[in-house]
Amino acid sequence: MPDTAPASVPASAPAAVPAPLVMPASGRPLSMRLDLQLIAEMVQPGTRLLDIGCGEGELLAYLTRYKDVDGRGIEIDMAEVARSVAQGLAVIHGDADRDLAFYPDDAFDYVVLSRTLQAVHRPREVLKQLLRISRHAIVSFPNFGHWQVRAQLLFSGRMPTTQTLDRPWYETPNIHLCTIRDFFALCADEGYAVEQWLGVDEAGRKTPWRRNRWLANLFAEQGLFMLRKA
Amino acid sequence: MPLSRPSPEPDEPALPASAEKGGAQPLAVAAPAGGEEDSAGGSADALDYPHQRIVFPQGLALDCGVTLAPLTVAYRTYGALNATRSNAVLICHALTGDQYVAETHPITGKPGWWDIMVGPGRPIDTERYFVICANVLGGCMGSSGPKEINPATGAPWGLTFPAVTIRDMVRAQKLLVEHLGIERLFCVIGGSMGGMQVLEWAATYPEHVVAAIPVATGAYHSAQNIAFHEVGRQAIHADPDWMSGEYWRQGVVPARGLAVARMAAHITYLSEEALTRKFGRRLRSGEALTYLDDIFEVESYLRYQGSTFVRRFDANSYLYITRAMDYFDLAAEHGGSLAAAFRRTSARFCVVSFSSDWLFPTATNREVVQALNACAANVSFVEIASDKGHDAFLLDEPDFHATIRGFLAACEAALSRPPRPPRARAG
């Protein structure tokens, strides 16, 4: 990460602003994953946001700089925490299963859980916490209903591995996989309103079938949802 | 490391590395009115040295109910205060530290205890920040403490010195900071007992702290830590030269007891890994085991630590300050809720722990983080991987130093940014 890259600081960056946290090479930081860009687009400027599983803090750095977001992060990998904090980001070492309970109600406008829900021990409890501490929850996860996953299991009889689910069963951190339709069903059970949703491909690009649940469930590699308490 | 030639820095056992670096040159600061400068020493023993200090004739009301007047605060400063008085960094020292952070110690001749962190171009850059460090209340490097003369009797206070708390230490620092003309500190930082003071600052003076960096610390002293301190205190009490705290009358010091206290405490500052790496089971001389010689290198090392400590530290001060640490319980000061202690703070926090620290382990530091989260405070928290134990905060830990550097830069940037517009409500 921090792309110490060069020269072409965007014209939009006022000179008085301190050194950017993530150095962009064009209007938007090239280093940011596409799925994070989709998330960034969902966030209103000047809001408070908690990014759970924030990695090296790409999204936080971007939102702090370009959307004046008061951003916090939680990350389980200590090396990534150290890099984030050294960049000046408010990141703590912790994990979603354990540490969300300590935040007060409605502490944030947004809480982001990107490609992490399937790896937590109690996803339902974590979702509940997300919507307790924040008004909106932005959640993305790999879609286990993707046709390749279905086809691999059906035809080979082995656990599927795809670009998104790229590790064998014995070493994957993903313990609670679900499909896009499963997630809709959970939201309905728990009474969460789906404010926005998208089917996206592995790189995080929006996909043409993103508006149809059945098609998205078959063709989208990931689901990206913004929820609120109904 | 050959133990026949002991480590050059007794407080920094694991690492001889930082010794060659030049310390920051202390600069005099023009002191506004508010107290009387006094550079003449008033203490009573061989450690006598004209520490830079300020006397507050009105004194300080202590938690124990006694008003200590006059109050003397010995301190050092490095760097220059800027025009807006917004670059002051207060460093809070640990149990046996002192105000000589980044310069040759006038009594031991050793480099400053945090030379590696504080100085020109260092993470706490004295070309950028105005750095202040005061000897704690109850200390023995010039601030009011049991070693100093009680004006009422003309003799050292000894055990008649009133009990002090971490909060009393912080209140004394606040008087000094005000005296230096500083309304709001850019940063308060400290490790161990220094970290306790940082937490106390954030709780007691929330509007006067921009950034707080509690390192390797906790919001209370654990039963295990109190137990270790008690061993040290009992060692001092058991020394016949202690004489119920009035050893100055006979011109002696309880060197044996204080050295044992230091040795026991020093073990808690290290880790098994660090001791194994440095000493293992090596014998100091020869192959044969004899009972009476200090055969293992680790023994020799501890004895050296003990013997050098007694030359610079006062036994009664050790008793008072260990007690202050033991009493510390920030949650108890706020109705049992640590989160309540931080409710009024707007400071940015950076909590740092070290993986091999068993005196203030990561879990203890994390409790502080959880309390800060409970009031949605702006907090960063990192556990630095190190095998050097509690003392790691004093040593060459590049990840730790990068963290401090990055955090301070971000706080500075946030400070210079125009105030945020009213929050846009999303959705």
Q: What is the pLDDT of residues B141-172, one digit of tens each?
A: 999 999 999 999 999 999 999 999 999 999 99
Q: Are residues B309 and B338 in the same domain?
A: no
Q: Are residues B217 and B262 in the same domain?
A: no
> What's the pLDDT band for B418 if we cut at 50, 70, 90?
low
Chains A and B: how many Cβ contacts under 8 Å?
106
Range of the domain at A109: 34-229
Looking at per-residue pLDDT, the higher value among B421 and B161 belongs to B161
Q: Catalytic: B43? A: no
Give domain status of residue A3, yes or no: no
pLDDT of residue A96: 86
Q: Is A228 on the interface with B (CB under 8 A)?
A: yes
Q: Is A85 on the interface with B (CB under 8 A)?
A: yes
Answer whether B370 sits within 8 Å of A86, measured CB to CB.
no
Question: For residue B121, what are its two tokens?
Answer: 């171009």
Give domain status of residue B146, yes or no: yes
Q: Mean pLDDT throughout A32-57?
A: 91
DSSP character at residue B242: G
Looking at per-residue pLDDT, the higher value among B33 and B361 belongs to B361
Query: Strand, helix or coil at B385?
Result: coil
Range of the domain at B335: 20-221+329-416
Give domain status of residue B13, yes or no: no
Question: For residue A122, what are its two tokens?
Answer: 């109690």
| Residues of chain A contacting B420 with CB distance shorter than 8 Å | 46, 68, 70
Give domain status of residue A184, yes or no: yes
Q: Catalytic: B192? A: yes
Choosing from B322, B343, B370, the residue where a domain stops is: B322
pLDDT of residue B170: 98
Q: Are residues B215 and B259 in the same domain?
A: no
Give domain status of residue B98, yes or no: yes
Closest by CA to B134, choosing from B84, B106, B103, B175, is B175
Phi-psi bin for B181: left (phi > 0), alpha (psi -120 to 50), beta?
left
Give domain status of residue A24, yes or no: no
pLDDT of residue B49: 84
Give domain status of residue A9, yes or no: no
Q: Mean pLDDT throughout A103-110?
A: 95
Least confident of A203-212, B43-52, B308-317, B339-348: B43-52
| % residues pLDDT > 90 (chain A) | 67
Choosing from B282, B297, B322, the residue where a domain stops is: B322
pLDDT digits (tens, 9 = 90+) for A143-199: 999 999 999 999 999 999 998 888 999 999 999 999 999 999 999 999 999 999 998
pLDDT of residue B295: 76
Residue A18 clears pLDDT 50, i.e. is over it: no
Say which CATH number the domain at B256 has.
Answer: 1.10.1740.110
Phi-psi bin for B244: left (phi > 0), alpha (psi -120 to 50), beta?
left
The answer to whether residues B138 and B48 touch, using CB atoms and an 8 Å cutoff, is no
Q: Mean pLDDT throughout A125-152?
A: 96
> What's the pLDDT band for A5 if we cut at 50, 70, 90?
very low
> What's the pLDDT band for B414 if we cut at 50, 70, 90?
confident
Answer whether A92 sits within 8 Å of B405, measured CB to CB.
no
The DSSP bridge partners found for residue B403 are none
Residue A19 clears pLDDT 60, i.e. is over it: no
> What's the pLDDT band for A210 if we cut at 50, 70, 90?
low
Give domain status of residue B427, yes or no: no
Q: Mean pLDDT throughout B63-91?
A: 97
pLDDT of residue B10: 37
The answer to whether residues B285 and B4 touch, using CB atoms and an 8 Å cutoff, is yes
Q: Are residues B385 and B297 in the same domain?
A: no
Q: Between B166-179 and B193-204, two packed helices, what is the crossing angle to 10 degrees?
A: 70
Q: Mean pLDDT throughout B360-388?
A: 95
pLDDT of residue A205: 74
> What's the pLDDT band for B110 if we cut at 50, 70, 90?
very high
Give domain status of residue A27, yes or no: no
- The number of distinct structural domains making up chain A is 1
Answer whether A78 sits within 8 Å of B378, measured CB to CB.
no
Q: Are residues B199 and B65 in the same domain?
A: yes
Q: Mean pLDDT throughout B21-36?
A: 36
Q: Is A93 on the interface with B (CB under 8 A)?
A: yes
Give domain status of residue B4, yes or no: no
pLDDT digits (tens, 9 = 90+) for B192-216: 999 999 999 999 999 999 999 999 9
Least confident of A57-61, B70-74, B98-102: A57-61
Answer whether B413 sits within 8 Å of A47, measured CB to CB.
no
Q: Are residues B48 and B164 in the same domain?
A: yes
Q: Are residues B212 and B267 in the same domain?
A: no
Choosing from B293, B322, B351, the residue where a domain stops is: B322
Residue A23 clears pLDDT 50, i.e. is over it: no
Residues whose CB falls within 8 Å of the CB of residue B350, separated by 6 or more in sequence, listed in order: A85, B211, B212, B213, B379, B380, B381, B382, B403, B404, B407
Q: Mean pLDDT throughout A79-94?
A: 91
Residue B178 clears pLDDT 70, i.e. is over it: yes
pLDDT of residue B288: 63
| % residues pLDDT > 70 (chain B) | 84
Strands (E), B247-384: 348-354, 378-384
- The number of distinct structural domains making up chain B is 2
Least confident of A31-45, A206-220, B283-297, B310-324: B283-297
Closest residue of B to A108, CA-based? B376
Q: Are residues B195 and B131 in the same domain?
A: yes
Q: Is A11 on the interface with B (CB under 8 A)?
A: no
Query: Strand, helix or coil at B257?
Result: helix
Query: Strand, helix or coil at B275?
Result: helix
Q: How far apart (Å, rounded) are the C-alpha atoms in residues B285 and B199?
A: 46
pLDDT of residue A104: 94
Looking at per-residue pLDDT, the higher value among B286 and B74 belongs to B74
Give domain status of residue A1, yes or no: no
State chain B's mean pLDDT as an integer: 87
Say which CATH number the domain at B409 has.
Answer: 3.40.50.1820
Question: For residue A35, what are its two tokens?
Answer: 């799925």
Q: How far apart (Å, rounded) are the C-alpha atoms in residues A126 and B297?
A: 52
Give domain status of residue A15, yes or no: no
Give domain status of residue A95, yes or no: yes
Q: Are residues B160 and B301 in the same domain?
A: no
SS (H, E, C) chain A: CCCCCCCCCCCCCCCCCCCCCCCCCCCCCCCCCHHHHHHHHHCCCCCEEEEECCCCCHHHHHHHHHCCCEEEEEECCHHHHHHHHHCCCEEEECCHHHHHHHCCCCCEEEEEEECCHHHCCCHHHHHHHHHHHEEEEEEEEEECCCHHHHHHHHHHCCCCCCCCCCCCCCCCCCCCCECHHHHHHHHHHHCEEEEEEEEECCCCCECCCCCCHHHHHHHCCEEEEEEEEC
Give domain status of residue B304, yes or no: yes
Give domain status of residue B422, yes or no: no
Q: Are residues B167 and B303 in the same domain?
A: no
> What's the CA angle centered on B99, arms B115 and B92, to 5 degrees?
85
Q: Mean pLDDT throughout B177-185?
A: 98
Give domain status of residue B12, yes or no: no
Torsion of CA B16, B124, B218, B202, to 10 degrees: 160
> What's the pLDDT band for B277 if we cut at 50, 70, 90?
very high
Q: Is A78 on the interface with B (CB under 8 A)?
A: yes
Say which CATH number the domain at A188 has.
Answer: 3.40.50.150
- Closest Cα in chain A, distance from residue B340 (Å): 13
Q: Is A42 on the interface with B (CB under 8 A)?
A: no
> What's the pLDDT band for B11 if we cut at 50, 70, 90?
very low
pLDDT of residue B246: 96
SS (H, E, C) A136-167: EEEEEEEECCCHHHHHHHHHHCCCCCCCCCCC
Question: For residue B241, what are its two tokens?
Answer: 């030269």
pLDDT of residue B287: 63
Q: Are residues B394 and B287 in the same domain?
A: no
Q: Mean pLDDT throughout A199-226?
A: 84
pLDDT of residue A87: 87
Maximum mean pLDDT: which of B9-13, B33-37, B41-45, B323-327: B323-327
Answer whether A88 sits within 8 Å of B426, measured CB to CB.
no
Question: For residue B291, what are its two tokens?
Answer: 């009972």
Q: Are residues B54 and B150 in the same domain?
A: yes
Q: Please give the helix or strand (H or E) that residue B78 lies within, else none.
A: strand B71-78
Q: How far apart (Å, rounded) are the C-alpha atoms in residues A54 and A72?
A: 9
Residue B235 clears pLDDT 90, i.e. is over it: yes
| Residues of chain B contacting A19 with CB distance shorter than 8 Å | 413
